[in-house]
């Protein structure tokens, strides 16, 4: 910069403009603060570092954070640990520890000291990884150790059972969150969401809705109408059956006819009507009013 713009007199700071002097001063201050912070962290064998303090909260009176780190390293090498999440917010559960590793922080809790509570759930129609529906659970990890701050972990609902098996204590569901443990359950919720966005079928006057022939509990609530494409195009066919199925049973039928190894194709696939075998897609399922 000194040679590219010699008219700025950057070679001599005292001759540079006030703006450049402020820039140099700020840059120097950042470097000095960084060096001072690194020096502070390095004192007492790096015991002041945030990660070391997080580990030191679990150290015994006659021990140090290094013993905790050694224990975590030993258990982390085992192949039976639970691991979930993206690299920037990784959740690791070993035989003794619950950890959340993010880009700039580390949270650690002992199994025997912590209580896990499901506090929130978010349903997404598509997952970037599988191109399939996914439910993300938020679980709060609270420790009885006063030196350990509570932290949240997030994982897919399909990994919930695996997490439970790894923990020594049950996970509480304080918010009464409905957890979908299988891909079929996740798809059923997505199926209902898409059907509610489709056109509505109005029953002719005088026609009464019969009980669903699938569950015999709810009333029939869906009708198959070929709406996705014009006549003569595509694989979908017109269904002439009267409303005979409820939305839940139709969704279960739709999911049962899918390739369980390729969930990313479920939303775009076509299945036969459970009564007349006419092919339909999710856009052809209409709610009944």
The reported pLDDT for the residue numbered 8 is 56
Spatial contact of 288 and 201, defined as CB atoms under 8 Å apart: yes
Q: What CA–CA distance (Å, rounded) separates 219 from 232?
A: 32
Angle at 191 between CA 189 and CA 192, to 5 degrees: 65
Hey, what are 210's tokens?
A: 């019969």
pLDDT bracket for residue 110 (50, 70, 90): very high
Q: What CA–CA distance (Å, rounded) separates 84 from 90?
A: 6
The reported pLDDT for the residue numbered 131 is 64
CA 128 to chain CA mean position, Å: 11
What one-character DSSP code corresponds to residue 6?
Answer: G
The reported pLDDT for the residue numbered 153 is 92
Spatial contact of 159 and 135, defined as CB atoms under 8 Å apart: no
Hey, what are 264's tokens?
A: 């990313």
Residue 51: partners with Cβ closer than 8 Å, 6 or more residues away? 106
- Rounded to 10 deg, the angle between the 247-256 and 183-197 helix axes is 130
Residue 93 burial (10 A CB sphere; 0-12, 13-18, 19+): buried
3-state SS, residue 153: strand
What pTM value is reported for the model? 0.67
CATH architecture, domain defined by 65-181: Roll (2.30)
Neighbours of 118 (CB within 10 A): 19
**From start to end of the chain, where are the E strands?**
82-84, 89-93, 97-102, 106-110, 114-124, 134-143, 151-156, 171-173, 200-201, 222-224, 271-272, 279-280, 285-288
Mean pLDDT of the chain: 84
The reported pLDDT for the residue numbered 75 is 92
**Which stretch of 59-68, 119-128, 235-244, 274-283 has the lowest confidence by average pLDDT?**
119-128
The yes-or-no verdict on residue 3 having pLDDT over 60 is no
């Amino acid at each position: 910069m000194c040679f590219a713009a010699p008219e700025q007199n950057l070679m001599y700071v005292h001759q540079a403009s006030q703006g450049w002097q402020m820039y140099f001063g700020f840059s120097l201050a950042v470097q000095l603060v960084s060096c001072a912070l690194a020096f502070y962290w390095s004192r007492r064998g790096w015991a002041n570092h945030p990660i070391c303090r997080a580990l030191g909260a679990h150290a015994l009176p006659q021990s140090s954070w290094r013993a905790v780190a050694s224990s975590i390293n030993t258990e982390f090498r085992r192949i039976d640990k639970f691991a979930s999440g993206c690299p920037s917010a990784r959740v690791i559960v070993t035989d003794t520890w619950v950890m959340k590793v993010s880009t700039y922080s580390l949270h650690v809790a002992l199994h025997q000291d912590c209580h896990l509570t499901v506090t929130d759930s978010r349903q997404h129609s598509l997952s970037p990884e599988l191109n399939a529906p996914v439910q993300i659970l938020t679980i709060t990890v609270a420790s009885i150790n006063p030196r350990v701050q509570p932290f949240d972990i997030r994982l897919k609902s399909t990994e919930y059972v695996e997490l439970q098996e790894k923990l020594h204590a049950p996970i509480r569901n304080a918010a009464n969150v409905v957890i979908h443990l299988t891909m079929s359950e996740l798809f059923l919720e997505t199926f209902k969401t898409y059907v509610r966005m489709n056109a509505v079928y109005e029953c002719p006057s005088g026609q009464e809705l019969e009980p669903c022939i699938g569950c015999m509990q709810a009333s029939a609530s869906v009708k198959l109408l070929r709406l996705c494409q014009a006549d003569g195009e595509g694989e979908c066919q017109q269904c002439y059956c009267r409303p005979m199925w409820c939305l839940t049973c139709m969704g279960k039928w739709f999911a049962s006819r899918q390739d369980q190894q390729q969930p990313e194709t479920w939303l775009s696939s076509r299945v036969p009507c459970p009564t007349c075998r006419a092919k339909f897609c999710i856009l052809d399922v209409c709610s009944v009013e």
